Amino acid sequence: MRNAFLDTLFELALHDERIVFITGDLGYRVVEKFMEQRPQQFLNVGVAEANMTGLAAGMSREGKIVFTYSIANFPTLRCLEQIRNDICYHDANVKIVSVGGGFAYGSLGVTHHATEDLSVMRTMPNLTVVAPGDPVETRAATRAIVLHQGPCYLRLGKAGEPTVHTGPIDYRLGRAIRVRNGNDLTLISTGGMLQTAVKAADRLSAAQLHARVVSMHTLKPLDVNEVLAAMTDTQAIFTLEEHSIVGGLGSAVAEVLAEANGPRLPFKRLGIPSIFSPHIGKQEYLLAQHGLNDEGVTRTILATLKPSSSRQNT
C-alpha cells in the first residue's frame, strides 16, 4: 500500500503543483524520487510532528494540498492537538497519512503498534477517515482525497500487501465495495484485513456458509446503507479490523445497528481487545496471536453462529 500511495501521489504531483508532501524524517529509499524531481513540493521537517502539522495547516491556507506522512502513531497521536485545533477546526485541506497501521511495525513493540488511531481520528469533526483494503483501493483513495476539499486521514499498511481486487473498482469516498455476495452472513472489513476476510469466506464456504464480504474503506463517513443492507439481507454481521474493537469499524457498525429499525441478528466485532498487546514479533505472528488470521476469524465466526443454529434446531 505504501508504494501504491507514493507512486500515485508522485504522478499527481507532476501535474498539480499545489500538492505538497511533508515527511517527519521517514521514508528514505521510497521518497527520493519525490525529493529529487519535485523539490519545491517536498519537505522533511525532521522528528517534529507537531510542527509538521501546524506547517501543513498554514500551507493549506495558501492554496496547497498538503500531505503529512509518518509511521502511524506519530502523525496522529503525537500531534493530536494540532490536528484538532489547526487542521480540523479550520477545515484545512490537509491529508494526514500514516504508514504501518495495526501491527505492521510489530517487532518494534507497543510504541509502534497503531491500534487506536482509527477510533481517535473518527472523533475529529470535519475529518474524513479512509483505510483502503489493498493497493488497488489505495491508488483510488489517493486520487479521491486529492480531489476532496477538506481534511482527510489515510491509513495504510506498510508494504507488500496483496492485491485483492482483480478488476476495476467503483471507488467513492463513503461508499463501501461489495467484494463478494452471500446471504448467510456479512463480513465487513477495513484496511489490510480485506484479504483475510476473503480467505475466511472461502473457509466458511466449506461449511456451507455463504459470506458476503464488504470492504469498508471509508470509516467516516460510514456507508450506512451497506450496513443496513447486511442487516436485512443476511443472518449475521461480523466486523474485521487490525485495530482495537473500541471506537473503530466495529463500533461504527454497532452504532448503526443499535439505532436501526430492523431485525436483531448476531453481531460480533473481530479485532484487538482494549489492551496493549503483550506480544512482539512480525505482523503475521501478532495477528495470529489475536485470532485475526483467516483461520482464527473462521473459528470465531463458527463458534459465534453455533449457539444460534442450536436454538433454531430445538
Q: Mind listing the pLDDT tens digit for each residue in 249-270?
A: 999 999 999 999 888 999 999 9
Domains identified in the chain and CATH numbers: 2-156 (3.40.50.970), 177-312 (3.40.50.920)
Q: Considering only CA atoms, which of 202, 203, 270, 280 is closest in space to residue 236?
A: 270
Q: In this structure, what C-alpha cell is assigned to residue 1?
A: 500500500
Low-confidence ranges of the chain (pLDDT < 50): 309-314
Q: What is the DSSP string of 87-155?
A: IITTT--EEEEEESTBTTTGGG-GGG-B-SHHHHHHTSTT-EEE--SSHHHHHHHHHHHHHS-S-EEEE
Instruction: Quick: pLDDT tens for 215-251.
Output: 999 999 999 999 999 999 999 999 999 999 999 999 9
**Beta strands at 42-44 and 177-180: parallel, antiparallel or unpaired:** unpaired
Task: Report the pLDDT value the prediction gives residue 65, as an integer from 0 to 100.
Answer: 98
The predicted pLDDT at position 312 comes to 44
Q: How many CB atoms lie within 10 A of CB 23?
A: 24
Sign, CA torsion 106/137/121/9: positive
The pLDDT value recorded for residue 256 is: 97
- β-pair partners for 269: 239
Q: CA nearest 249: which of 276, 232, 227?
A: 227
216 neighbors 312 (Cβ within 8 angstroms): no
**Residue with C-alpha cell 475529529?**
124
d(CA 217, CA 221): 10
